[in-house]
Amino acid sequence: MTEQDLRLSLLNTLLTTPHRDMAALYPLHRNMMESDPRFYARLAAWYGEKGDVRDHREMFVVNLCLSSFEGHREVGLSLLRRLPPYQVARVVDFIKGTPARPAKARKPVKSTSETQTLVARATRLLTGRGAKKRVQTQRAAKKSLERATPKGLGHNVPRSMKTEIEVYLRSRENDAPNFDGAVLHARSSLKRLYAGLHIAPGPRAQAILFDDCPPADSKLAALKEIAASSDPSFQARAIAQNRIPYRVAVSVIKTMTPMVLASLVNAMSPQETINNIASLKKRGAFDSPDIKPLIEGKLAQARNDGRVSAFKAKVAGEAAGANGALAAQLDAITDAQVKAKGSISRPTALFIDKSGSMDVAIEVGKQLGAMVSSICESDLFVYAFDTMPYPIEVTGDSLSAWEKGLQGIQAVGATSCGTALAWMEKKQQRVEQIVMISDERENKAPFWKDTLKSYQENISKVDVVFVKVGNAGDALERDCETHGVSFRAFDFKGDYYALTNLLPLLVRPSMLELLMEILEYPLPVRS
């Protein structure tokens, strides 16, 4: 494998969304670091600024802080300083690990005979109650397995990391509002950092976290007063003055009045507003003529807030059952955040597998099509395919426009992954990159390997991004390797907001330029 191919394979790893499965992510990052330690440090710095997946940011810190390669620890500790407390605690927890807990001994079954027990158990399994019992048994078995499986690395936290975390905590203690806000968001994480690393808390931290006696001027004391009060006007003023987070306030306030709800919305950040859309809707906030404009104002701010995750607005809207003006506003946030990622200057093709059982590919095609078309400044050719290509004409870059454009496209038929590319060669449609949404399984000619070779020789060299759906294989990726075609593979697991991970790969003029951008990215230095 060439050095460039190796680095591209490292980028492929960052397209995964591990959902807090740090154990599965660790060996991938470890291999990345050992394969190219210099590139890994630059990639960590670049991803800390450009990346969206928290698990990868944490894993970069884990590996760099444990590395013995020169300069790695400095970069890792610099990146650690940028993390919020709950992520710092997750990094420490993973390094320290948790030992396996011995399974509890099962009590002997009390019955007159083993036969009677088996008969009774079989009878229960044939009833509705038995089905419920099976589910409960499966859940209990899963929990038992989780308890019996060690988590994390089981390593000692390096002295340099412990020292850095102490500096990290002291800097927050010296800023009382900052520290109080951190406690409201991550109380248990902060307690674990102090106790687990044997860092003596300062007076304020001791009073708030361990003595449960917060100072009168702290947000925690205000929260206690809010919980004890039944006066909505007092609660609203205290929330506004102390910027109490919504999820904390709703856990202590028994009766959520419109006045209190309005104060909570005012205290929210745009991202918090998006995250709590479903809860706000459930509490009737959108039915209030006073609160609804406040929410709309926060959502308007979200369009230009770089901290807002692009697709979380869409996911939050779907969870809340948003429709009409609210759905349009959430879509506008997604569109604005996607456009902020950059523009696609290379002519691009989007292939959507519509063969049997590929319903998920069609749905991903709608989402990805809306995203790509909104930032594509060059030609964009879109085809759905089974054993023949279906040209897709879409007027507009909204999700509704793409749903309309793919109307009538159903997941049926056999699969020829090369048919769309063969048709593009016949039509002399030139592109420099292809996005293929498929499970990479084909059973009819023209095959991908043949058409890819012909297109490369007769029309243009291409890069390929595979968005793998369903029970996907890797046959098309191996064909790319055979023909020396650079590719990236994104394994889609159902999270549409993770599709934005593809954008940094699509907006660069070439993969070489992306690699050079990463290699030239400045390394962070601690002040």
pLDDT tens-digit map of 214-235: 999 999 999 999 988 889 899 8
pLDDT of residue 109: 43
Number of helices (H) and strands (E) in the chain: give both, helices first.
27, 6
**Which class is 348-506 in CATH?**
alpha beta
pLDDT of residue 132: 56
Helix/strand/coil for 401: helix
Q: How many beta carbons lie within 10 A of that of residue 159, not counting itself? A: 8
pLDDT of residue 60: 96
Cβ burial of 112 (10 Å; 0-12, 13-18, 19+) is exposed
pLDDT of residue 461: 93
Identity at 45, one-letter amino acid code: A
> Rounded to the nearest 5°, which phi and psi values hold at 468?
-90, 125
Give the pLDDT band (50/70/90) at residue 138: low
- Judged against a pLDDT cut of 70, whether residue 130 lies above it is answered with no
- Judged against a pLDDT cut of 70, whether residue 189 lies above it is answered with yes
For residues 130 and 93, which has the higher predicted lDDT (pLDDT)? 93
Q: Which residues contact 247 (CB under 8 A, 6 or more apart)?
A: 276
Beta-carbon-side half-sphere exposure of residue 485 (alpha carbons within 13 Å): 30
For residues 286 and 10, which has the higher predicted lDDT (pLDDT)? 286
Percent with pLDDT over 70 in the chain:
84
pLDDT of residue 358: 95
Let me know the angle formed at the C-alpha of 373 by 371 and 375, rounded to the nearest 5 degrees: 80
Please give the mean pLDDT across all residues of the chain. Answer: 84
- Judged against a pLDDT cut of 70, whether residue 111 lies above it is answered with no
Cα–Cα nearest to 416, from 453, 388, 395: 388
Among 109-123, 129-143, 355-369, the range scoring the smallest mean pLDDT is: 109-123
Give the pLDDT band (50/70/90) at residue 243: confident
Q: How many beta carbons lie within 10 A of that of residue 510, not counting itself? A: 14
The C-alpha torsion from 64 through 69 and 72 to 77, rounded to 10°, is: 70
| Residue in the structure block whose two tokens are 């894993």 | 59
pLDDT of residue 410: 94
Q: Which residues contact 346 (CB under 8 A, 6 or more apart)?
A: 378, 431, 432, 433, 509, 510
Q: Which residues contact 483 (CB under 8 A, 6 or more apart)?
A: 449, 452, 453, 456
Please give the average per-residue pLDDT across 415-430, as a whole number: 96
Encode pLDDT of 13-22 as tens digits.
676 666 677 8
pLDDT of residue 245: 87
Among 115-129, 368-382, 423-437, the range scoring the smallest mean pLDDT is: 115-129
Please give the average per-residue pLDDT across 123-146, as a whole number: 56
